[in-house]
Structure 1
Amino acid sequence: MLSTEARPNLLLITVDQMRYDCMSIEGHPIVDTPNLDELARTGIRFERAYSATPSCVPARAAIFTGLSQVSHGRVGYDVSVPWRYDTTLPGELARAGYHTQCVGKMHVNPTRSLLGFHNVRLHDGYTLYNRNRTRITAANHFDHADDYLPWLRERAGAEQDMLDLGLDCNASTVARPWTLPESLHPTNWVVTESIDFLRRRDTTKPFFLWMSFVRPHPPLDPPQAYWDMYAQEAMPARPIGDWADTNDPGLEGLNPVTGKGLVPKRRLDRALAGYYGLITHLDHQIGRYMQALREYGVLNNTIIMFTSDHGDMLGDHHLYRKALPYEGSAHVPFILNDPGNQLGLARGTKLQEVIEMRDIMPTLLDAAGLTIPDGIDGESILGLARGEKKDWRHYLHGEHAYGMQSNQWITDGRHKYIWYSQTGEEQLFDLLHDPTELHNAIGDEAYQEEASRLRTLLIQELNGREEGYSDGERLYAGCKPKLSLQHLLDRTN
C-alpha cells in the first residue's frame, strides 16, 4: 500500500447529460472540444462506457458506491429516498488521508449530505424537489440547498434567479444565450471554486476533487460567444430508426420539456446549437482548470478521469432527454488520463470493453493504492488501461423505471437487447454495424440466436426480482415498475 505522501491526487470531472459522441476526437461533425480531445489523445478512451440506469440520481449512486443499480437500490429517478450508504468513494479516500472536496452537483438526499466529503460547494442546478414552494419552510428554503445562487446574487443583484431566462430545467428543445457576464455562468463558477480549492487545500495531504458540472443538462444557455459558434451551423439530420414513431397526433413535440415528438426543425436546430455551445464552453473551462493545475505544480501528480452521468437523445428517433436504453441516452464519454505517467497506462489507446459508472470508485481507489472494499460490484479499469489481458465483464445489464417506457436491456458492446417491461416489446441492435440503432433486428432470422442469448441473460438477471419480471424461465410484461427497490427503502426507514 502506498504511503499518504506517495499517493497521487485524484480529479474526477463529471458533466451532466453529455452524449458519448459529442467530442471532436470522436469525429463529431459540429462540436469542437480541444481540451477533451487532448485528454483523450494522451490518455485512454473507453469507447463502450455506459450508464446502466441513465438518469442523474441512480447514476450518481453508482459513482458514490461502486454498486450496480440492483445493489444500491435505485432503479429509477427518485429524489425523495435518503442516501444512507456505509461505504462511499469520498469516505474511503478521506479515511485514507485524502483531503476531499466536491464542487457542483451532488443530487443526494438530504441535499447537504457530505457522504464522506470534507466540504461541498453545492450547485445541483434547478431541482424541482428543492424548489417546490408548497413544502418550503424557513429551515427548508431552497436557498439553503445551493451555494451558487447566493454567490450569483452577491455579484449580479439580489433579484437574480435560476428561471430568469425563461428556460425550464428539463427543456431539451428550447435554447437561448446566457445574458449575464460569462464569468457568472454556473460552469465558470464550478471552475472558479475548484481553483480556489487548490489555494486553500491542505498541502500535506493528497486531494480528491470531484468537479461536477450541471451543464450541458438544460437549461440550454451557453454564453453568447459559444452560442455564436453554432447558431448559424447547418445541423446534420438526426438518425431516425425504422422502428421510430413518426406520428405525433397530440403535437407532443411542441412541448418544450417533451420526451418525444416531432419538434419543429428550426427549434431543434437552435437547441442543438445551445447544447453544443455548452459543451465547448465546458471544454474551455476544463482547459482553464488544467492550466491552474500547472500553475500550482500538481498536474503531473494528478490522475484525471472524465465522464458524464448519462446522455441525451437530442431528437434521435424523435426522442429526447434520458432514462432510455438507446445509445444517445445510456452511452457516455469516458477518459482516463495520467499526465505524470504514474500508473503505467497504455496512453493514446482506445478500448472496447464495456465499463460503467460503478467502475469509477474501484478505479480511483486502485489508483490511490487502496484496498477496494468487499461487496463492491464495480471493477478497477486500470488493468485494462495498462494493456494487461484480463477477463473483463462479458455484458452489462441496464434498466430504468420510466412509466410506460420502463425498460430493461443487455449489451456486450457488440449487440444490445431491449425489453420494455410494460408492453413486452423487444428490440435488438447490431452496434458494430448499426451504431445509431437505425434497424431493429429482433425479427431478422440472422439475429435469432443472438436475440435468444441476450434475452436469456436478461431472464437470469431479473429472476426473483420483487417486481415479478422473471421466474428464471421467461419474462413477464405488465408488472408494476418500482423506482427504488425494497432493500433501499427498508434501509432508509
Structure 2
Amino acid sequence: MAAPKNILFIMFDQLRWDYLSCYGHPHLKTPNLDRLASKGMRFDRCTIQSPLCGPSRMSTYTGRYVHSHGASWNNVPLKVGELTMGDHLRDLGMGCWLVGKTHMAADAEGMRRLGLEQDSVIGARVGECGFDIFERDDGMRPEGPDGLYDEGGALKYNEYLRGKGYESDNPWHDYANSGLDDDGNVLSGWFLENSDRPANIREDDSETPYLTRRGIEFIEQAEGPWCCHLSYIKPHWPYIVPEPYASMYGPQDFLPRVASETERETDHPVFKGFQNAPIGKALARDDVREKVLRAYMGLIKQCDDQMGVLFDFLERTGRMEDTLIVVTSDHGDFMGDHWMGEKTFFHEASVKVPLIVYDPSPEADATRGTTSDALVECIDFLPTFVEVAGGDPAKLDHILEGQSLLPMLRGGAAPEREVVVCEYDYSSSPLAGRLGLHPDQSRMFMVANQDWKMIHFESGHRPMLFDLRNDPQELEDLGASAAHADVRARMYDHLHVWARRPAARTTMSNEAFVKERTLGAGRTGVLIGIVEETELPQELTAKYTGRKAKDMRGTTPGTPGE
C-alpha cells in the first residue's frame, strides 16, 4: 500500500442510501459495495447540495453551494469562470476524465462573449464542466413533439447497440429501456405499468455493464496520475431492468412505505403540491410502487454486480493499491415515501446519500471498516481530491466551500461544521405556476444538524421542522408548533450565517488578504493618516523624504518654471 496517486470517483444516479446492505437493507444484498466499505470508511450523514441531478452535480464538481455557482436547475448553464474539478486537479498535475454522466449545460453565451471556441481544448473543457472526455453519456435520449431532450444523449451507446444488432432509430429507448409483448410491440419503460417487465436487451449490453467496460477501458490506457469520474446512469428512471434482475425481487423484499395520513392531510401548500405531482400520485398507489420497486431494486443489484467486475479488475491490475475510490450518488429517490416520487424535496430519502471512501495509504489503516455520522457534504469531495493530488485546500478556501475528508480518513478530525445546507429552485416546475409564484419566490432551503432539520420557503409559507432524534422517519412536521419556536429561531440563525458567507469573492484568496494586511502599512507607498514622517520606519517613507523639486508656484501656466 502507498499514498494514492489516482482517484476513481464513482457516482450513481438516484441511488438511495438505505438500499445497500451495508446501510442496513435487509433483503437487497450488495456484497461488492459492502466489501469496499470494509476496506474503507462509510459515512452515514452525507448530504447533497440540491435534490436534482444538475445542480447537485455542479456543486460536487465545483466544491461550491448552488447559491454560489448559480446552476440551480437541470440545463441551467454553469457560468464561464467557475473553476471545476478538472481545473483544480490539472493545476496539480493530475488529469481529470469523464466516463458517463454530468448533466452539464455549457454557457454558450458566456463562451461566445469571451471568444472561446467549443472545439478548442479550453473551450471543450469549459463546455464539459472541466473534464476531458473519454465518453460522455448522460443516459437520456427521450423524444417528444418538440424533439429530443438531449441531442447528444446516448449517441455512442446507441451506435454500440446497433453494432450488436439492435435495429432502431433509438435503441436506447426501444431495447435498453423498454419491454416487449408477444406480438413484438415495444412496451415503453416511460410507462410505470411496464416497470415489472424485463427490458428487451441482453443483460451484458444494458447501460450499467456497458459503462463499466468503458470505465475499465479508460483505466487500461490511462497514464497517471489521473482522476476518472465514472458516472453511472442507473438506477435513475426509466425504471426497467433486464433479466435476471427483473425477476429477483418482490413484495416480500420491499421496505415498508414511510408515510403517514397526517402527512397526506398537510396544510402546507408546497409540500402538498409535490405530493400531488404526477409522480407523487403514481407512487402513492401500492400497485405502481410495487412494479417500480421490482425494477429499482434490480437496477441496484446490477450496479453492485458491476462493482464486483470493476473491483476485481482493479485488484488484478494493482490499481487497488494506488487509487483512492469514492462511491456516492447525486441524490436519492422517494419511492412513494411521504407520498412522493422522484427526489425534489428534503426528506432523508432524497438528500442523504451513500458515501464510501477507500484510501489505500497505510495512514488510513486505522479507519478501515469504520463508519462515521459526522456532518459531511458533497462539496467536501473536491477539497479531498485536491489534497490527494498534493494541493492545499486551505489555500483555496475562498473558492472551495467544502472541507477535505482526508484527515478524517487517516484518523484525524472530522470537518468542523455545525449544519449542512441543501437548496432547491423549483421556478421551472408546474407547481410554481399553480401557486402563482415569481421565480424569486420559488426557492427553498434546508438547514440541518444531528438533531433538527428545518425547511425555509422563500414563498412566504411557514417553515417545516423535523426532530431527527425522536422522529428519524420525519413524519411529524413541527413547523407550526409553538413549543418549538426557539428551535426554529436557532435554525434560522444558522441559515442566516450561511447566507452571509463571502461566496462571490473568488479572484483573491483569503491568504492574500492576510498577507497584505500583515506586511505593514506603506509597503506599496500608500500612507493614510500619517501626521509626521517619523511615525513610520524610514524605509516606508524613503520615496517621500529627502527629495528636491523646482518651485512652480509663481509660474504662468504652460511656461517653464524659473
TM-score (norm 1): 0.82
Q: Closer, same or farther in 2 for the Cα pair 1:432/1:114, shift >3 Å?
A: same
Deviation sequence 1:366-425 (CA, Å, 0-9, x none): 122223334211110122223323561110222201235742211013210112333513
Q: Closer, same or farther in 2 for the Cα pair 1:132/1:357, shift >3 Å?
A: farther
Matches within 5 A, 1:181-192: 181-192=202-213
Deviation sequence 1:337-361 (CA, Å, 0-9, x none): 1245455562222111211121111
- The answer (yes or no) to whether the contact 1:101–1:120 under 8 Å persists in 2 is yes
Residue 479 of structure 1 is matched in structure 2 by: none
Task: Name the SS of the counterpart of 1:102 in structure 2.
Answer: strand
Q: Per-residue deviation at 1:170?
A: 9.5
Residue 313 of structure 2 is matched in structure 1 by: 292
The separation in 2 between residues aligned to 1:362 and 1:456, in whole angstroms, is: 26
Deviation sequence 1:222-276 (CA, Å, 0-9, x none): 22111221036353320114541259xxxx9999952346633122112111111
The separation in 2 between residues aligned to 1:80 and 1:246, in whole angstroms, is: 34
Residue 430 of structure 1 is matched in structure 2 by: 467
Task: Name the SS of the counterpart of 1:224 in structure 2.
Answer: coil
Matching of residue 440 in structure 1 with residue 446 in structure 2: no
The separation in 2 between residues aligned to 1:326 and 1:170, in whole angstroms, is: 26
More helix per residue: 2
Matching of residue 142 in structure 1 with residue 151 in structure 2: yes
Letter in 1 for 2:226: F
- The answer (yes or no) to whether the contact 1:241–1:437 under 8 Å persists in 2 is no
The separation in 2 between residues aligned to 1:433 and 1:254, in whole angstroms, is: 24
The separation in 1 between residues aligned to 2:188 and 2:23, in whole angstroms, is: 30
- The answer (yes or no) to whether the contact 2:74–2:103 under 8 Å persists in 1 is no
Alignment match of 1:161 (pick from 171, 192, 205): 171
- The answer (yes or no) to whether the contact 2:275–2:339 under 8 Å persists in 1 is no
Q: Closer, same or farther in 2 for the Cα pair 1:221/1:323, shift >3 Å?
A: same
Q: Per-residue deviation at 1:118?
A: 3.0
C-alpha RMSD over aligned residues: 3.1
- The answer (yes or no) to whether the contact 1:239–1:317 under 8 Å persists in 2 is yes
- The answer (yes or no) to whether the contact 1:44–1:335 under 8 Å persists in 2 is yes
Residue 65 of structure 2 is matched in structure 1 by: 68
The separation in 2 between residues aligned to 1:236 and 1:82, in whole angstroms, is: 37
Task: Name the SS of the counterpart of 2:391 in structure 1.
Answer: coil
Residue 321 of structure 1 is matched in structure 2 by: 342
Deviates more, 1:102-111 or 1:160-169: 160-169
Matches within 5 A, 1:75-474: 75=72, 77-110=73-106, 113-126=127-140, 131=143, 134=146, 142=151, 146-159=155-168, 160-164=170-174, 165=178, 166-167=187-188, 174-202=195-223, 205-231=224-250, 233-241=252-260, 243-245=262-264, 258-260=279-281, 263-341=284-362, 343=364, 346-372=367-393, 373=396, 374-389=398-413, 392-402=416-426, 403=432, 406-422=443-459, 424-444=461-481, 447-462=484-499
The separation in 2 between residues aligned to 1:366 and 1:72, in whole angstroms, is: 22
Q: Closer, same or farther in 2 for the Cα pair 1:366/1:173, shift >3 Å?
A: farther
The separation in 1 between residues aligned to 2:349 and 2:194, in whole angstroms, is: 15
Q: Per-residue deviation at 1:99?
A: 3.4
Task: Name the SS of the counterpart of 1:162 in structure 2.
Answer: helix
- The answer (yes or no) to whether the contact 2:134–2:218 under 8 Å persists in 1 is no
Letter in 2 for 1:20: W
Deviation sequence 1:190-228 (CA, Å, 0-9, x none): 1010111122222xx222111100101101122211122
Q: Closer, same or farther in 2 for the Cα pair 1:368/1:213, shift >3 Å?
A: same
In percent, how many aligned pairs have the same letter?
Answer: 28
- The answer (yes or no) to whether the contact 2:423–2:446 under 8 Å persists in 1 is yes
Task: Name the SS of the counterpart of 2:10 in structure 1.
Answer: strand
Q: Per-residue deviation at 1:63?
A: 1.3
The separation in 2 between residues aligned to 1:86 and 1:253, in whole angstroms, is: 32
Letter in 2 for 1:451: R
- The answer (yes or no) to whether the contact 2:71–2:79 under 8 Å persists in 1 is no
Q: Closer, same or farther in 2 for the Cα pair 1:146/1:64, shift >3 Å?
A: farther
Q: Closer, same or farther in 2 for the Cα pair 1:47/1:172, shift >3 Å?
A: farther
The separation in 1 between residues aligned to 2:88 and 2:190, in whole angstroms, is: 33
Deviates more, 1:362-371 or 1:102-111: 102-111
The separation in 2 between residues aligned to 1:106 and 1:85, in whole angstroms, is: 18
Task: Name the SS of the counterpart of 2:485 in structure 1.
Answer: helix
- The answer (yes or no) to whether the contact 2:9–2:326 under 8 Å persists in 1 is yes
Residue 485 of structure 1 is matched in structure 2 by: none
Q: Per-residue deviation at 1:175?
A: 4.5
Task: Name the SS of the counterpart of 2:19 in structure 1.
Answer: coil
Letter in 2 for 1:302: T
Deviates more, 1:445-454 or 1:150-159: 445-454
Q: Closer, same or farther in 2 for the Cα pair 1:238/1:87, shift >3 Å?
A: same
Deviates more, 1:169-178 or 1:44-53: 169-178
Q: Per-residue deviation at 1:461?
A: 4.2
Q: Per-residue deviation at 1:132?
A: 6.1
- The answer (yes or no) to whether the contact 1:52–1:397 under 8 Å persists in 2 is yes
Which of 1 and 2 has greater Rg?
A: 2
Matches within 5 A, 1:2-21: 8-21=5-18
- The answer (yes or no) to whether the contact 1:12–1:209 under 8 Å persists in 2 is yes
Residue 480 of structure 1 is matched in structure 2 by: none
The separation in 2 between residues aligned to 1:173 and 1:461, in whole angstroms, is: 45
The separation in 2 between residues aligned to 1:254 and 1:86, in whole angstroms, is: 35
- Pick 1 or 2: higher relative contact order, CA cutoff 8 A, min separation 6: 1
Q: Any unmatched runs of 5+ in structure 1?
A: 466-493
The separation in 2 between residues aligned to 1:425 and 1:201, in whole angstroms, is: 53
Q: Any unmatched runs of 5+ in structure 2?
A: 108-123, 179-186, 267-272, 427-431, 436-441, 503-562
Count of equivalent residues: 449
Task: Name the SS of the counterpart of 1:110 in structure 2.
Answer: coil
Q: Per-residue deviation at 1:323?
A: 1.9
TM-score (norm 2): 0.73
- The answer (yes or no) to whether the contact 2:58–2:78 under 8 Å persists in 1 is no
Residue 476 of structure 1 is matched in structure 2 by: none
Q: Per-residue deviation at 1:109?
A: 1.6
Q: Per-residue deviation at 1:54?
A: 1.3
